[in-house]
Structure 1
Amino acid sequence: MELISVAAVAENGVIGKDGDIPWPNIPEDTQQYRERIADSAVIMGRVTFDAMRHNLPGSAQIVLSRSVTAFDAETAHHAAGVDDAVEVAESLDANRAYVIGGAGIYDLFQPVVDRMALSRVPGEYEGDSYFPNWDEDEWILLARTEYDGFTLEEWVRRSASA
């Protein structure tokens, strides 16, 4: 099972403010993000799930929550933690799952993700949600692609590339 974090991150590490992104919408980033995760299982927290309920991403949503809750979406599944989320993804015959937030979920999964696809948004923004700090020495930058309004960086964990 390959775990991949996908996030848009400002220069100061901000990923959100009041449940939304603090910078103007970047359509090309939204498009590449949606295309990347379209046919895959995605792992997210309950708040992120609720915020995306009107347009759920991925083919299946694995929602981490302390309480077992029924979801009103057929494709949504509950998970109690990291190991449980991986087991749910594997039970769905997924060979990869994308970790898509929020901040607490990124933090929980950072020690175990194999890859990261980070949209680097220029500028610093006020926010209340941050992408977790990580040691670049543990990672290899595979690609950096410039787009209008952001730069996409694709990282692989050194231990995952061996």
Structure 2
Amino acid sequence: MELVSVAALTDDRVIGKEGELPWPSIPADKRQYRARIADAPVILGRRTFDSMRDDLPGAAQIVLSRSEGSFDVDTAHHAGSVDEAVGIAERIGGDAAYVIGGAGIYELFQPHLDRMFLSRVPGEYDGDAYYPAFDEAEWTLVSETEYEEFTLEEWVRDGSPD
């Protein structure tokens, strides 16, 4: 199973401010993001899960949290570690599991990722949550798709299956 990170970020890696996106909504980015993860398990932190409860993404949600063991959502699963989250994703099945945040979850999974889809949002925005820095020498940028309000980059870790 491939581990894939999906995030929207600025050039200085800002992904959020006070639990929200710091830039105005970008409908085209939300559409491509939702379509990409629709039929797959997603891995996310508890705060990100709570912020999305009204419109949960993915076919199943694997919530990585030290504190909460169960959720009142049939498709949600608790995981206490990266290994446990990956194990749950493998049991659910599919070709990929998508890591969708927040900042701490991206940081935990960065060494384990095979692929990243990064929506680069132009401009400068004040933020308090950042996508982790990564060594571009370990990755290959395999595609860039220009949209009116962002650029979608696809990165593959060198040595990962294409």
Whether TM exceeds 0.5 here: the answer is yes
Once the 2 structures are TM-superposed, how far is the Cα of residue 161 of structure 1 from its aligned partner? Answer: 4.0
Which residue identity is paired with 2:86?
V
The within-5 A match list for 1:151-162 is 151-161=151-161
Pairing of 1:67-78 with structure 2 (within 5 A): 67-78=67-78
* Runs of 5+ unmatched residues, structure 1: none
Q: Which residue of 1 aligns with 2:43?
A: 43
Unaligned residue ranges in structure 2 (runs of 5+): none
Distance 2:95 2:103 in 1: 24
- The SS at the match of 2:67 is coil
- Aligned counterpart, 1:136: 136
For residues 99-110 of structure 1, the aligned pairs below 5 Å read 99-110=99-110
Q: Distance in 2 between matches of 1:78 and 1:157?
A: 27
- The 3-state SS of whatever aligns with 2:159 is helix
Q: CA deviation at 1:68?
A: 3.7
Cα offset, 1:124, TM superposition: 1.4
Per the alignment, residue 62 of structure 1 pairs with 62
Letter matched to residue 91 of structure 1: R
Asked whether 1:8 is paired with 2:8, we answer yes
Letter in 1 for 2:37: I
The letter of the residue matching 2:107 is D
Letter in 1 for 2:83: D
Residue in 2 aligned with 1:32? 32
- What is the letter of the counterpart of residue 21 of structure 1? L
Cα distance per residue 1:13-56 (max 9 Å; x no partner): 10000000000000000000000000000000000000000000
Deviation per CA, 1:129-160: give whole Å up to 9, x if none. Answer: 00000000000011000001000000000020
The separation in 2 between residues aligned to 1:106 and 1:68, in whole angstroms, is 19
In structure 2, distance between residues paired with 1:161 and 1:68: 34
Runs of 4+ in 1 over 6 A off after TM superposition: none
Structure 2 length-normalised TM = 0.98
Q: Distance in 2 between matches of 1:74 and 1:23?
A: 32
The CA distance in 2 between the partners of 1:123 and 1:110, in whole Å, is 24
Amino acid at match of 1:16: G
In the aligned structure 2, how far is the partner of 1:113 from the partner of 1:135? 13
Q: SS state of the match for residue 108, structure 2?
A: helix
Instruction: Give, in whole Å, the separation in 2 of the partners of 1:94 and 1:128.
Output: 33
- CA drift of 1:67 comes to 2.0
Please give the TM-score of this superposition, normalised by the length of structure 1.
Answer: 0.98
1:77-96 paired onto structure 2 within 5 Å: 77-96=77-96
